[in-house]
Structure 1
Amino acid sequence: MDLPQAQVQEEASHPLLDPLPPTREHRRTPIHALRHVLTSIVPPIAYDWVRFAFIHEGSAVFHSEFGERRLERGDLVILGANTLCGTRPMSSLTATVLYLNRDYVVDQVFWQYAGQVVDRLDASQLLADFYAEPTQILHFDEGTGALLAPRLDELVNLCQPAREPLFYRAQALLSEVLDVVTPQIRVTTSRLTPTQRHAPALGERNARRPVPLREEARVAAATLRASPSHRWTLVNLAREVHLSPAQLSRVFVEAYGRTPLAYLTVLRIERMALLLRTTDVSVQHAAREVGWNSRSYAARVFQQHLGVSPRRYRTLAGRW
């Protein structure tokens, strides 16, 4: 649900309804909680964050590439990263929206299944395999809603700009919420639509706040995912989305927390690691398959991101 674009009530005396400003402290927080009152149509928007929208009051029609669904009090909308969707309120809709940085979510999966996965790339794949549905809508009864409400309220308060960032308290509250929610989330080992795609999970931790993805950023990212081995430059990628290189770099960093070429590097490392784990091709062949002609450069970048050389990675992966 794209409630951050909603018309939030202008009540300065009510901190729960204030929009999140781009403060330094909040940009560094992988957990955001916002309370929104939606009174007008929100056009389809995507975020590079996992979102949980808890409906408190009102009703609306939620629409995405997977169809339409009426939302009512007690509903929970779960959206995977990069899922495009919009909302049309019937009159008004009040909701608490949790935003979780995808790298943070992958870290949680990694530690939860530490005995079954090799590294964060493996955890990312596990997450993509079992939580493949990019949109889910659950419904909770009054009792469950009453149990979640005070925790959601405190999370929203912790995310106010005037508050000191209390990460561990926010994480504890989030764990209590997810302890109730996650048993109800549907899991699957099959992909339902072509849009159920992976989002990069490697590289530097993103120190940013959730913002809507501009269409040019989404198209550029999809273009890179479709052809990671292509000899991309910022100039020819910008030409694909009809922006200047400087404009593309700015909107892409705002959307994904890294430059287009850094994003491409992550994609290549992921695919190279997959080749090393699932085939017998040489390191040099794997590097060329993903777009790097230099074996030594590919090995250096691979080790910078995963902490081990390609050969060592293959050895470790073979033990699991």
Structure 2
Amino acid sequence: MYRPVLPVAYDCVKFIIVRDGSAFLFSEFGQQPVKAGDVVMLGANVLCGSEPEGHVTVTTIYADTDFLLDQLRWQYAAFLDDRLSAQGFAETIYTEPAQILRLGEDRAGMLMPWLDEMVRLSVDGHPVRHYLRMQALWFQIAYVIAPYIKVSPVRLSASQRAHIRPALPRDRRFAPLRAEVRHVAQLLRERPEQRWSLDDLAAEVHLSPSRLSSVFIEAYGKTPLAFLTMIRAELLAKYLRETDLTVAAAIQRVGWHSRSHATRLFREYVGVTPGYYRQMRRAFTA
């Protein structure tokens, strides 16, 4: 990869293994350099962009959130009642949605043959035939990466378990289940400049505001208005990089009306201020 990548978010967990070269990343951890031997872990719906230093070569694993929750559920089967309990447990221990894991080139080198095989099997077009081998490769990779992931310590006891009715695993395919949620997400992506309220969005899909918020969080891990903020930050980064709009004009175009408010939110989601992001774009293209 030789060109910058705009901040973008995915509806899955990403593990980006840096194989060669170096880059600067921008995300909720701010601006951070990465090099060969580093692994970037991004939670679902977390914005991240990059600026290669010359070039950077990576392999990316996209892991469905339900798949990872099921693994966590069985890992802690003695403590967790069901997979919804696993979701609450994951939110408690994995409090940093964007992390850079400094494995080092020697330890990361262990991953390379497994990653190469995983990529080959992924593009082979026979997912059923290769299912068990892909699982085995993932567990080998996860076993190496897991000790480097920052977690928050918790005390597990019977009194702390979440007593929630079990639910069957969802077949999301990196997309929300409910048509109402898909429609709201589409509205926010197509008209981010509009002054949406939760009541407005709920009326569009004939749900109560509280119900819409609940099902949207289940699908995207964010409230509809937090999702809108993410979309605006993503679009603002695009305008700052690809147009000559002033920072103030770009902020207005994405739907924010206060520069200080926009600057604070953009920094939370992208890691740097809009003005600094624009300066960096000029520095890298000079």
TM-score, reference length from structure 2: 0.58
Within 1, Cα distance between the matches of 2:24 and 2:186? Answer: 24
Indicate yes or no: 2:110 matched with 1:142. no
Structure 2 unaligned segments of length 5 or more: list them.
155-165, 176-181, 190-196, 220-286
The alignment partner of 1:159 has SS state of helix
| TM-aligned CA deviation for residue 163 of structure 1 | 3.9
Report the counterpart of residue 208 of structure 1 in structure 2.
Answer: 173
- Residues 289-308 of structure 1, C-alpha deviation per residue, up to 9 Å, x if partnerless? xxxxxxxxxxxxxxxxxxxx
Indicate yes or no: 2:147 matched with 1:183. yes
| TM-aligned CA deviation for residue 265 of structure 1 | 9.0
The alignment partner of 2:139 has SS state of helix
Within 1, Cα distance between the matches of 2:33 and 2:86? Answer: 33
Aligned match for 2:54, one of 70, 87, 91? 91
Within 1, Cα distance between the matches of 2:217 and 2:33? Answer: 40
Within 1, Cα distance between the matches of 2:47 and 2:186? Answer: 10
Indicate yes or no: 2:138 matched with 1:174. yes
- Residues 147-176 of structure 1, C-alpha deviation per residue, up to 9 Å, x if partnerless? 111011111111105344412111111001
1:69–1:218 CA distance, 2 compared to 1 (3 A): farther
Q: Which has the higher helix share?
A: 2
The alignment partner of 2:123 has SS state of coil
1:203–1:92 CA distance, 2 compared to 1 (3 A): farther
| TM-aligned CA deviation for residue 63 of structure 1 | 0.4
Report the counterpart of residue 40 of structure 2 in structure 1.
Answer: 77
1:219–1:127 CA distance, 2 compared to 1 (3 A): farther
Report the counterpart of residue 232 of structure 1 in structure 2.
Answer: 202
Instruction: Assess if the C-alpha contact under 8 Å between 1:203 and 1:266 holds in 2.
Output: no
- Residues 4-28 of structure 1, C-alpha deviation per residue, up to 9 Å, x if partnerless? xxxxxxxxxxxxxxxxxxxxxxxxx
Within 1, Cα distance between the matches of 2:88 and 2:199? Answer: 20
Indicate yes or no: 2:123 matched with 1:160. yes
1:73–1:84 CA distance, 2 compared to 1 (3 A): same
Instruction: Assess if the C-alpha contact under 8 Å between 1:45 and 1:85 holds in 2.
Output: yes
Paired residue type of 1:184: Y
Aligned match for 1:126, one of 89, 102, 120? 89
- Residues 199-244 of structure 1, C-alpha deviation per residue, up to 9 Å, x if partnerless? xx9676235258xxx9x839959xxxxx98999243589xxxxxxx
Report the counterpart of residue 263 of structure 1 in structure 2.
Answer: 215
| TM-aligned CA deviation for residue 91 of structure 1 | 1.4
Report the counterpart of residue 29 of structure 1 in structure 2.
Answer: none
Paired residue type of 2:135: Q
1:152–1:265 CA distance, 2 compared to 1 (3 A): closer
Instruction: Assess if the C-alpha contact under 8 Å between 2:28 and 2:98 holds in 1.
Output: no
1:80–1:209 CA distance, 2 compared to 1 (3 A): closer
Paired residue type of 1:232: A
1:228–1:114 CA distance, 2 compared to 1 (3 A): farther
Within 1, Cα distance between the matches of 2:124 and 2:14? Answer: 20
Root mean square deviation, CA, Å: 3.6
Paired residue type of 2:204: L
| TM-aligned CA deviation for residue 183 of structure 1 | 1.1
The alignment partner of 2:10 has SS state of coil
- 1:1-320 matched pairs, under 5 angstroms: 38-165=1-128, 166-188=130-152, 205-208=170-173, 217=185, 232-235=202-205, 263-264=215-216, 266=218
- Percent identical among aligned pairs is 36
The alignment partner of 2:91 has SS state of helix
1:51–1:219 CA distance, 2 compared to 1 (3 A): farther
Instruction: Assess if the C-alpha contact under 8 Å between 2:66 and 2:169 holds in 1.
Output: no
1:138–1:204 CA distance, 2 compared to 1 (3 A): closer
1:59–1:218 CA distance, 2 compared to 1 (3 A): farther
Instruction: Assess if the C-alpha contact under 8 Å between 1:202 and 1:266 holds in 2.
Output: no
Task: Give the number of equivalent residue pairs.
Answer: 191
Within 1, Cα distance between the matches of 2:141 and 2:89? Answer: 22
